Structure 1
């Protein structure tokens, strides 16, 4: 029997490099398509400005101290909204996931209200919290509550029963069960819920700032639109997009550090 040598060809790029190359290709195609549309004359040049105009506006934006002041306002409102809405969502998710009766009774309401555009509640929030930062924070908190609560409820149901029995065998209280058993065991769902919550909270805060505000990134966006300064508006949208990417990457990195099953640490 003749031996047949099989030659295995190695790919030119590693899998991660292939993914990075595809991502860069998508960005390049999008930029080329945008530039082609801007130079084609099919739309008004002011509506679709060329890349060099947007690049110049982006440089001007990043060197403007006012941008960083508005960035801090939006970031502060978003983080405070995430702490409030996410914290309440965490407790509600634990309650829903820890009790079958409670979950069946109340969780459907979260699924019904979750997809509802939260901007329709903004007039009510203005009456409750005023026209200052309170209504924007409340808008973001309301938006972030639902993804956190639903994600935590699903994570609670996925906790191995043996971990819960270990905590009960040590006669752990409710606080100890939450901090020593529940949260370590569902770290990934909790972080994923907060990752989604941050993005939705940011959307809620930005929408509120476009409606009623004199500061913040949302206010800058609507101001540039009203002045028909399209390059500045697109540059600001790029900055907001980059902020979302960085925040999601940071939370995803925390979720990715979850190594192995959670080990309960219950003390008497």
Structure 2
């Protein structure tokens, strides 16, 4: 500590202080952990329904050292990535069309608002009939899940573009493709990234739900398998790891788009 103090004085740099927001975050996390452990030790629920933090920690270690887990994780990552790629590209195209054409927007955009909140899992039997019981049906459900938030975000972003940017593009006689690449997409970077972040969340949910319903691979399959065997520590461990990975992917997308709002502790 003395060396750190001398180094601070020598360099003239002050060590970053922990702000009140960080303290509140740490307090919330600590309260959740303490409350969880208290509930686990209270015996109010059946044994292992709320396992202790030690049991969950051991399950996380066992999970991360299991090579089979990473194979299932790769399956889910492939399905979610393919769904986000296909659904994202198609949603951006649809959003550009609807956002740039008032007639098509008034005619078709209400359907996006009506179908967007609909639980996509109800379409899973159709996906199975069309694409089979393998990964393609999970990818299709993920595409259907992530399409709507991205398309609506892009369409809204199109209407917020400064008219002067459009006039400049047209003054250079840019065609539709050049306008989309050089003007529309750069000007809508924030709405697109926000839409992709929302699409990632719902696409992940849709894919995992599909894996829990009918699959023999993927994280969703492992979660429902642990639930069926009443291996609660392993189930909670997979949920925690998945939660951390989802946060990391979301933060990475935001950072790549220059929208990362997560403050460092």
What TM-score do the two structures reach when normalised by structure 1? 0.89
Mapping 1:92-171, distance limit 5 Å: 92-171=94-173
Mapping 1:76-91, distance limit 5 Å: 76-91=78-93
Shift of 1:45: 2.3
Q: Of residues 208, 211, 214 in structure 1, which corresponds to 2:213?
A: 211
Contact 1:192 1:255 in 2 (8 A): no
Mapping 1:1-268, distance limit 5 Å: 17-256=19-258
* Structure 1 residues without counterparts, runs of 5 or longer: 1-12, 259-268
Q: Deviations over 1:20-72 (max 9, x none)?
A: 22111111100000000011111112101111000100100000001111111
**Aligned equivalents of 1:16, 1:248: Cα separation in 2:** 24
**Aligned equivalents of 1:109, 1:254: Cα separation in 2:** 31
**Aligned equivalents of 1:15, 1:102: Cα separation in 2:** 53
Q: Deviations over 1:112-164 (max 9, x none)?
A: 00000000000000000111110000010000000100000000000000100
Task: Evaluate the alpha carbon distance shift between residue 201 and residue 68 of structure 1 in structure 2; reply closer, same or farther with a 3 A threshold.
Answer: same
SS of structure 2 residue aligned to 1:256: coil
2:263 is aligned to none
Moved over 4 A (4+): 13-16
**Aligned equivalents of 2:218, 2:78: Cα separation in 1:** 10
**Aligned equivalents of 1:46, 1:35: Cα separation in 2:** 12
Shift of 1:257: 5.7
**Aligned equivalents of 2:94, 2:202: Cα separation in 1:** 18
SS of structure 1 residue aligned to 2:19: helix
What TM-score do the two structures reach when normalised by structure 2? 0.90
Contact 2:190 2:259 in 1 (8 A): no
